[in-house]
Amino acid sequence: MTNTARHTTAIILAAGLGTRMKSRLPKALHRLGNRPMITHLIDTAREIFDDVVVVVGPDMPELEKAVQPYRTVVQTERLGTAHATNTAKDLFGDGDIAVLYADNPLITADTMRRLTEARQGGASLALLGMRPADPGRYGRIVEEQGRVSRIVEYKDANEQEREIALCNAGVMCAGAADFRRWLAAVGNDNAQGEYYLTDVVAMAASEGRVQCVEAPETELAGVNSRVELAQAEATLQQRLRISAMEGGVTLVSPETTFFSTDTCLEPDVVVEPNVFFGPGVTVRSGALIRAFSHLEGCTVGEGAMIGPYARLRPGTICAADTHVGNFVELKNVDLGPGAKANHLTYLGDASVGAQTNVGAGTVTCNYDGYFKHRTTIGARNFIGSDAILVAPVTIGDDALIAAGSTITEDVPAGALAFGRARQTIKPDRGLEIKQTLKAKKEQG
């Protein structure tokens, strides 16, 4: 939060339906970095502004819930950006306000800070501008004698104005009292018949200095379609990858590693190619995440090795020096220090003690069709391959479960448990069966 005497409020416009998204979901709720894109903007705004107010459209309860605990106001009719901003005028306060857009989720705190500093430096209004490679249909920032005089929307611009490279990003900051006065004077005599927020720029320029703060296109470009959403995701992922590597993480193939915004990787973590981090993942120092692994809602301890082709699901905690190998899935599992599950195993709703080895093909049967049940495996156990552990069941420390066993009862500490049919041998019968089948095949 900025440390100034002047109170600041961010007004975030989020009432748009996002028709180009072709979705029933409000545009602001489409996800970037595995969370709604509006939450990115709110979190950044909270670093700079004292308050946040979100303007939503009618019948958007999911959006109102997503932005809690911040205040919301409803724009009952979608009559343009000035109309949306004016809807929140009673919540402007007495200091400065900045108008932001939910579909500009990647604005950085540094850019927001430069915007507020331009305003505090004496500008009657400060706004953000960019010079995109393809200006397309962005509004153009018109300057006269080196000063911003107005903004013209693309649909209302003449050919000369459309040649201007400096484009409007939509974001602007000014005093609350000035904004209220300007908004009351905005009309809708334009090609769209809407109340444009950009019209206040000319009003501000007639009263004082309007300052444009420029920022990169990747930071300010809007998200109005699935294509632009994918482009914004690529920008965000690049930021997250750079941040991870600058923090001491080795990404063997950065472009194939995908993060959530809350992914926490400590220094000296190594991530091999094609790894996906869903929400809520923490990886401690020295851990190795091998190729093609998928992690979500889990914690990986120091020195642990995960993968390749491992899946860690929510609620899983892998302690220090654990090994989770190829085609192993863990869900809501506590894997104790030094424990290993190296091959083709499913452990769900289970606790595994320190130094226990879980053999290939082991399954904890945690669901009976109605309820989930927990399996507790003690320390220093050896669970043989293809063991089926039917929960609820407890296996004490230092036990051995024979390969191929189905365990339905608790196993005491130090015990050897078998749970399989007795082996029967019929001499020469195997050869007889093979010869019979071979003869049938030859006879067609």
Q: Report whether 313 belongs to an annotated binding site.
A: yes
Q: Report whether 435 belongs to an annotated binding site.
A: no
Q: Report whether 224 belongs to an annotated binding site.
A: yes
Q: Using CB atoms within 10 A of its CB, is residue 150 exposed (0-12), middle (13-18) or buried (19+)? A: buried
Q: Report whether 309 belongs to an annotated binding site.
A: no
Q: Report whether 355 belongs to an annotated binding site.
A: no
Of the candidates 223, 258, 168, the one whose C-alpha atom is nearest the C-alpha of residue 30 is: 223
| Catalytic-residue membership of 323 | no
* Dihedral class, residue 408 (left if φ above 0, else alpha if ψ from -120 to 50, else beta): alpha
Q: Report whether 196 belongs to an annotated binding site.
A: no
Find out whether 263 and 257 touch, Cβ atoms under 8 Å.
no
Angle 174-120-179 from CA coordinates, rounded to 5°: 10
Q: Report whether 342 belongs to an annotated binding site.
A: no
b/e per residue 44-72 (b: at least 16 CB within 10 A): bbeebbbbbbbbbbeebeebeebbeebeb
Q: Report whether 331 belongs to an annotated binding site.
A: yes
Q: Report whether 357 belongs to an annotated binding site.
A: yes
Q: What are phi and psi of 265, to 5 degrees?
A: -115, 125
Q: Report whether 3 belongs to an annotated binding site.
A: no
Residue with tokens 């190795």: 288
Q: Using CB atoms within 10 A of its CB, is residue 256 exposed (0-12), middle (13-18) or buried (19+)? A: middle
Q: Report whether 80 belongs to an annotated binding site.
A: yes
b/e per residue 184-205 (b: at least 16 CB within 10 A): eebeeebeeebbbbbbbbbbbb
Q: Which two tokens stand for residue 421?
A: 């049919």
Q: Report whether 215 belongs to an annotated binding site.
A: no
Peptide bond preceding 392 in cis form (omega within 30 of 0): yes
Catalytic residue among 7, 83, 323, 343: 343
DSSP type of residue 94:
S
Find out whether 435 and 418 touch, Cβ atoms under 8 Å.
no
Rounded to the nearest angstrom, the gap between the alpha carbon of residue 300 and the centroid of all alpha carbons in its chain is 19
Q: Report whether 81 belongs to an annotated binding site.
A: yes
Q: Report whether 160 belongs to an annotated binding site.
A: no
Q: Report whether 14 belongs to an annotated binding site.
A: yes
Q: Report whether 366 belongs to an annotated binding site.
A: yes
Q: Report whether 287 belongs to an annotated binding site.
A: no
Q: Report whether 367 belongs to an annotated binding site.
A: yes
3-state secondary structure of 174: strand
Binding positions for UDP-N-acetyl-alpha-D-glucosamine: 13-16, 27, 75, 80-81, 139, 153, 168, 224, 313, 331, 346, 357
Residue numbers annotated as active site: 343
Binding positions for acetyl-CoA: 360, 366-367, 385, 403, 420
Binding positions: 13-16, 27, 75, 80-81, 103, 139, 153, 168, 224, 313, 331, 346, 357, 360, 366-367, 385, 403, 420
